[in-house]
Amino acid sequence: MKYIAFVIVVLITGLLGYLGSISLGPAPPMAPLLDPNHGFWQNMKSEDALAKEEIVLEGLVAPVHVSYDENLIPHVFAENEQDLYRVQGYVTAMHRLWQMEFQTMAASGRISEIVGSIAVPLDRMTRRKGLAYGAELGMEFIQKTDPETLLLLEAYSDGVNQYIDQLSEARLPVEYKILNYRPEHWTAYKSILLLKYMSDMLVGDRDLEYSNLRKYLGEEMMGKLFPDFPEENDPVIESGKKWEFAPIPISRPDSISYPDDALVIEPLPQPEEGTGSNNWAVAGSKTKSGNPILANDPHLSLNLPSLWYSMQLSTPDFSVKGATLPGALGVISGFNRNIAWGVTNATKDARDWYKITFETDQREAYRYGSESRKTEFRIEEIKVKGESPFMDTVVYTHYGPVVYDRTFRAERQDVNFALKWTAHEGSNEQKTFLLLNKAENHSDYNLALDHFTSPAQNFVFASKSGDIAMRIQGKFPLKWKEQGKYFMDGADPRMEWQSYIPNEQNPSTLNPERGFVSSANQHPVDSTYPYYVFDNSYEHYRNRRLNTRLREMSGITLQDMQELQFDDYYLHAFEALPVMLELLGNDASAESQAQKYLQELKNWDYYADPNQQAPTLFYLWWGKLYDSIWKDLSELEGPIVRPNYYRTVKLLKNETQGEIFDLKSTSGKETASTHVKQSFGAMLEEMKTWEAEEGDYAWANYKRTKIQHLVPQFTSLSVENVYTGGGAGIINATSSRHGASWRMVVEMGEEVKAFGIYPGGQSGNPGSKFYANFVPKWANGEYLNFDLREKEEEASLLFETVFTPQL
């Protein structure tokens, strides 16, 4: 009896121990997770409670001193660059390890390893776009051309790895514990991959949608609905700029034929609307102090842990401070004692698609003019958590990878389009930032930018010596008019990109007469620029508001620039609403609600402040109106894009009775005013529901800005319902999921004065008090002091760590 009882109890014990150690379904192993000595409870500790005075780091040449200020911003003081980046790697990993790794896993199509087969389609997509392929080429390029950068990349990755190697179970970031996997070693390649990931995040193309539109609408209507330049073009490089170079001649081949299939495939995932940015610099002539002031606020998807991590990096030669990208070396948007710079996205249709005509079903060769070219096969092994790996074969042509083929999303038709993308060509973006970090003047800045290929950026610049500048930098293919706007025939060599625009012919300006430079993702240039410029996503509102303000302002202070970054003026509403109200006439229902809303709209000052109700009404009404006007287009088979807001408002205003407004799908004849009236009614309906269910319709309560954890399912690790104003197309571009991911203003005087903030916190640990502590200040338009620190400075010091070389 006793034996049996003993055996039963031992079995139960073993079973409990075993069950505790394995994952049941999607749940992580429970016992190690709950064990307060090692599990998630340990992640409650904040970084200051875990501070160490000394850390021994192999490979250092000299001791490196790190002071953390009250916001947990590390200020690294090293004797040389190799030590500097080794410690940057270690410190960044200490606070952001899970995020760094997760982002590179996403970039290389390895999410299935973490979450299982549910992510296989996503990973296949990532790999078929060739992100990892691009990073491999980038790595080879650096190995061949730039041993110096390679050395620094390796120092950084060694710093990350020394942190990983000493990491205890208790200190492991909580996401690893929940998702039940462990960090692997960092490599130089992963840093490159991260920069490619940024390309993917920021670069889109609408070739598929435009191909469909062209087929349905014809060239003439395309020109009307999607003109190359807006009527009031207010480009990045000031209009009237003289181009002082002899352009490379390029001519459009006669008789081009585009592939004419009806294209019903899914488009590639696009950067989401609202990912854009502002940057500007004002010359001393416009500022109170006489020093140039520079401002930058890149808008991206709002996430936790934040995309950005603030740091100061100092050697005896330079001191740079600003926003870093965890995983990449140096500061990406920031300043040193001599210069400041910032970035906004400068997309210019950098991706094109070519239809591939395979010779046989084996896809070993394809047609190219009169010859036949060989393909290459790249086998992608996608490891899947808990299952056997998924093998995917991707066909590569000289253009690039064939993204969609018979094995991938080929349900509806034979696809076979190859993706040509500048991100697939060897380049060294890392070098740009390493050089900018220590640049001293305008010519250093230009040299640094020469290394930058993709994603193309508007680099703003200001220097202590009084210069302000803007340069649009990327590797831009030299295109004939409309080349790459639509899908092209890959069998016709005349469709190829012929060459690239030389760096010195990329649009740029230095100290323009108007006393400021600015960019907000609008058209880069006016129509006098000698090369073809096209993109679907150019901004039409933020840029004009920004430039209007900058033109009229004088005696500018840092505080004025902070306020301008937080400007909630809704220019789109200012232009659209009066037209809408006029078209509505007195026709609105006499219902008291309708009258109340109309009154609110009429009394509105066009600021989308968080407590205002009118922005909600306008936003809803406009959304319904826009849907209603372009209903016919939306119902076409296959993906399309609709004319932008700016163009739509112009048509509403100028062609009230136009054919454009008549829906072919209905029997009656619609005019602009029909759409306006119907959409006003629809808005009333929706508001009725909203008021009944939610009550308050103040703008902040309606748009519900959310800063979401990188794993969207972890809603409790996100910050929801952030009370803040702004929106898409507004300088303060904070919509529901996007907004200023980093705000910085810098005055380049004798002593640099700087402020910065981002919606997150320095710690990536959701248990830390530094995880999201900047969010309330950010939402309020407040800033943190970002002045450069001295090594011995005691003010607002949280703690210090000295990294010492191993003896």
Partner 1 sequence: MRFFGFLILTALLVVFVGPFVPYWMLMVGAFLLALVLKPGNSAAFFGAGFGFALSWVGLSLYLTIDTGSELGGRMAAILGVQSGTVLMIVTGIVGFLLGAFSSLSGNMLRNLFRKKPDNIYGGR
Name which position in 43, 99, 278, 673 contacts partner 1 (CB under 8 A): 43
Contacts with 13 (C-beta within 8 Å, 6 or more apart), sequence order: none
Which C-beta is closer to partner 1: that of 47 or that of 207? 47
Least CB distance from residue 761 to partner 1, whole Å?
Answer: 13
150 binds partner 1 (CB under 8 A): no
Q: Which stretch binds partner 1 (CB under 8 A): 79-87, 111-119, 449-457, 713-721?
A: 713-721
Least CB distance from residue 741 to partner 1, whole Å?
Answer: 22
Least CB distance from residue 144 to partner 1, whole Å?
Answer: 46
407 binds partner 1 (CB under 8 A): no
42 binds partner 1 (CB under 8 A): yes
Name which position in 169, 261, 272, 655 contacts partner 1 (CB under 8 A): 169
Which C-beta is closer to partner 1: that of 401 or that of 766? 766
3 binds partner 1 (CB under 8 A): yes
34 binds partner 1 (CB under 8 A): yes
What type of residue is 211? S
36 binds partner 1 (CB under 8 A): yes
Least CB distance from residue 2 to partner 1, whole Å?
Answer: 6
Which C-beta is closer to partner 1: that of 457 or that of 765? 765
Give Cα separations from 652 to 234, 533, 634, 667 (angstroms). Answer: 21, 27, 18, 21
Least CB distance from residue 707 to partner 1, whole Å?
Answer: 14
262 binds partner 1 (CB under 8 A): no
Which C-beta is closer to partner 1: that of 749 or that of 767? 767
Burial of 95 per CB tally in 10 Å (0-12, 13-18, 19+)? buried
DSSP class of residue 465 equals T
Cα dihedral 611/615/616/619 (nearest 10):
-160
Least CB distance from residue 37 to partner 1, whole Å?
Answer: 4
Least CB distance from residue 72 to partner 1, whole Å?
Answer: 15
Least CB distance from residue 768 to partner 1, whole Å?
Answer: 7
Rounded Cα distance, 292 and 747, in Å: 6
Q: Which helix (H) or strand (E) holds 413?
A: none
H helices of 630-736, in order, are: 631-634, 645-654, 672-693, 699-703
Name which position in 714, 773, 776, 798 contacts partner 1 (CB under 8 A): 714
β-pair type (303-304, 705-709): parallel
Contact 72, 798 (CB under 8 A): yes
Q: Which stretch binds partner 1 (CB under 8 A): 26-34, 465-473, 486-494, 789-797?
A: 26-34
Contact 82, 61 (CB under 8 A): yes
Name which position in 341, 704, 716, 776 contacts partner 1 (CB under 8 A): 716
Q: Which of residues 751-780 bind partner 1 (CB under 8 A)?
A: 766-769
Is the link from the previous residue into 305 a cis peptide, with omega within 30 of 0? yes
Name which position in 22, 49, 56, 510 contacts partner 1 (CB under 8 A): 49
Rounded Cα distance, 72 and 75, in Å: 9
Contact 759, 323 (CB under 8 A): no
Supply φ then ψ for residue 381, to 5 degrees.
-100, 110
Laid out side by side, the sheet with 402-404 consists of 402-404, 417-421, 351-355, 488-489
Look-up of token digits 């997150």: 760
271 binds partner 1 (CB under 8 A): no
Which C-beta is closer to partner 1: that of 21 or that of 407? 21
- Closest by CA position to 419, among listed 537, 564, 267, 242: 267
Contact 209, 630 (CB under 8 A): no
Contact 394, 375 (CB under 8 A): no
Supply φ then ψ for residue 722, to 5 degrees.
-75, 130
Rounded to the nearest 10 degrees, what angle do helices 645-654 and 672-693 cross at? 130
Structure tokens at 527: 């129509």
Name which position in 150, 151, 178, 588 contacts partner 1 (CB under 8 A): 178
Q: Which stretch binds partner 1 (CB under 8 A): 12-20, 58-66, 464-472, 518-526?
A: 12-20
Contacts with 300 (C-beta within 8 Å, 6 or more apart), sequence order: 201, 275, 307, 738, 741
Contact 34, 43 (CB under 8 A): no
10 binds partner 1 (CB under 8 A): yes
Which C-beta is closer to partner 1: that of 43 or that of 518? 43
Q: Which stretch binds partner 1 (CB under 8 A): 44-52, 146-154, 532-540, 620-628?
A: 44-52
581 binds partner 1 (CB under 8 A): no
Q: How many residues bind partner 1 (CB under 8 A)?
A: 41
Q: Which stretch binds partner 1 (CB under 8 A): 9-17, 136-144, 239-247, 691-699?
A: 9-17
Name which position in 152, 687, 717, 775 contacts partner 1 (CB under 8 A): 717
Least CB distance from residue 22 to partner 1, whole Å?
Answer: 12
Name which position in 1, 25, 37, 552 contacts partner 1 (CB under 8 A): 37
Name which position in 40, 68, 163, 421 contacts partner 1 (CB under 8 A): 40
27 binds partner 1 (CB under 8 A): yes
16 binds partner 1 (CB under 8 A): yes
Which C-beta is closer to partner 1: that of 16 or that of 61? 16
Name which position in 150, 167, 170, 663 contacts partner 1 (CB under 8 A): 170
DSSP class of residue 614 equals H
Please, which contacts does 98-102 make with residues 24 or more away whose CB atoms are closer than 8 Å?
A: 98/173, 98/174, 98/175, 98/176, 98/183, 98/305, 98/764, 99/305, 99/326, 99/710, 99/764, 100/160, 100/186, 100/190, 100/194, 100/326, 100/327, 101/183, 101/184, 101/186, 101/190, 102/175, 102/710
Name the residues that contact partner 1, by CB under 8 A.
2-3, 5-6, 9-10, 12-13, 16-17, 20-21, 27, 30-32, 34-38, 40-46, 49, 169-170, 174, 178, 714-717, 766-769
